[in-house]
Amino acid sequence: MVIMSMPTQADLSPKKKLPPCKDTPNCVSSQATDKLHYIPPFKISGDPKLAWQELRNAIKTHVRMVITHETDVSLHAEATSLVLSFVDDVDAFLDADAGLIHIRSASRLGHSDFGVNRKRIESFRTQLRKLHVLA
């Protein structure tokens, strides 16, 4: 089965904008303005480049997740579910001046994700805090 990558706005790093969430509850974003979709950005503790590298490493070692596009300050990854091979999109960009990593995780299909996207981002947050790169 061939899985095609979805276009992403995360590679437009100068604009510092993530793709918006749709009206469905299967998306979280640090740039969302509503409670349903909002998740706090990653607040960097120390060197922003190190925090960014550790996020990249966390994504690369995550099961069934692959980075499909990246620059020095933005990335797009795809996570494939085990059972039905659904694909979720993960976008992130480094805002070194603000000391933040903005991040978004969203299902491409369906309505509910049973909290999978929020859990994914929070697991990355926990992992990076253990490495002392996030506050």
Task: Quick: pLDDT tens for 121-131.
Answer: 999 999 999 99
Q: Look at residue 126 and tell me if it is in a domain.
A: yes
**How confident is residue 85, by pLDDT bands cut at 50, 70 and 90?**
confident
**How confident is residue 21, by pLDDT bands cut at 50, 70 and 90?**
very high
pTM for this predicted structure: 0.87
Q: Look at residue 72 and tell me if it is in a domain.
A: yes
| CATH (domain of 122) | 3.30.310.80
For position 13, what pLDDT does the model report? 41
Domain range for 84? 23-130
Domain count, the chain: 1
Q: Look at residue 5 and tell me if it is in a domain.
A: no
Q: Look at residue 18 and tell me if it is in a domain.
A: no
Rounded-to-integer distance, Cα 46 and Cα 95, Å: 13
C-alpha distances out from residue 118 to 2, 4, 29, 37, 95, Å:
26, 23, 9, 9, 21
Question: What is the rounded average pLDDT of the residues 58-69?
Answer: 95
For position 81, what pLDDT does the model report? 86
Q: Look at residue 124 and tell me if it is in a domain.
A: yes
Q: Look at residue 87 and tell me if it is in a domain.
A: yes
